[in-house]
Structure 1
Amino acid sequence: MSGPVLVIELAQTVPPAKVGELRELLLGICTHFEEPSPGTFDLQVSAQRLGAADTRSQDPYAPFPLPLLTSGAGDAGRAEAGPQAGPEDRAALASLIGFNPFREDWRRPLMVSLRGLGFSDLASAESYEAGYETRYEDDDPELAALIGFTPVNTVDVIAFCSRPLDHTTTALLTAAVMDVVGGVAVIELPEDQVPLVAGLPGVLASSTHDRPTVIGTSRFLRAWAGQPGFRLLK
């Protein structure tokens, strides 16, 4: 995994009906959907269906010059043209056009995974509570108090790439998941994002102990993702 991860914490177990609603949501916004185990979803997410602003060229299929026989092609260019190719042949080959092979693909690979009671090998709420204490209370007592509850379920939203579009898609997908299952997002901030989130709607609490952290709603995630310079901690 090389992309950002966001975490949703929930005070109650996600009921089967809500898991069904989540499944329907994901089917509607994904171009590829697999559920290898209950509550774990491997996805190709359409950023456009999530409402991400399209920053690409108005015509993503506009002609793109192929760098075959430019003036700097040298011996490689002559080899492509062939030993018998004359100036006119080379000019014709140099004018070839195609589609930009590096244009951004808006189908982004992500995973959504429900963990905790009912969705993993954790046998009881007590065992999950112990894991919670290890993850939060030992590291940041202030953060544990700010959350205000002991999580019973966690939803991880995991991106497998780290382009700017992956950061935006991860935030918007997390917000969409929260609209269905509820919970709060616990987000560690890069240092440069601290002033960016100040004053945004949907911030429930924040902590500066050890590392900047925000606890926010889906509204906060959407507002933050729309800010110039937005990025998640990778």
Structure 2
Amino acid sequence: MTTIGIIYPDHAAEDEYPTAANRLGVRLPVVHIYGTDLHAVPELLDLGSPEKLAKGVSQLLAAVEAEAVGPVDAVMWACTSGSFVYGHEGVLRQADQLAEVAGVPAASTSQSFVAAVTALDLKRVAVAASYPEAVAALFTDFLTASGIEVVARGSAGINTAAEVGSLEGAQVLELALRNDHPAAEALLIPDTAMHTLDVLTAIEDRLGKPVLTANQVTIWHGLRLVGSSVTSERLGELFTRV
């Protein structure tokens, strides 16, 4: 069975990974690294540091080995802000370092958004961010540097991942609807702390366009890194089209 190891920061919406694993028939083991859960640049730089990610890899490989069910096929750093805060080139270095330590393909959630937008052949997107405005701006800077046009950006101004993780489905839906734009070909919701999988198809139905969310694209990209083309009708248009 395909195994994509997930390194996840602190605790918020990590329960989306076993949910997705059951829907897809894959393994998505999760380990945690810790810092403060503030959406602030110094804290995010610390959270995504090479030292912390290397520790996460060590925990992940040990956990999978203890289960004796086969090796990890790829590793994903399931954190958008803890990757894009390093800038476009920094995101690439971070993933290269992660892959070197893990010995398997690796990437981050930030890279997963770019890969998903590219695979869907999209050019213009809107962003519905949970972050404070200054952090949300760094995400759109990263997208722009990756060749993606951001036609609108909304920020909920939420300071901690714990608060984001407590949002109900109706609140996530409202955030999405409030921050879409008619010129956008897709809506991006970039926080792995947010529970989105159970409202994803409802948002797409309301907007009439693909919706890409952090945990969704992380799982999708991890699987595509190892050549898996598993699909699902319950994980958004991304998992049915490409």
Q: Does the TM-score normalized on the shorter chain lie above 0.5?
A: no
Q: Could you say which structure has the larger radius of gyration? A: 1
Whichever structure has more strand as a proportion of its residues is: 1
User: So what's the TM-score if we normalise by structure 2?
Assistant: 0.25
User: So what's the TM-score if we normalise by structure 1?
Assistant: 0.25
Whichever structure has more helix as a proportion of its residues is: 2
Structure with the greater relative contact order (CA < 8 A, sep ≥ 6): 1 or 2? 1
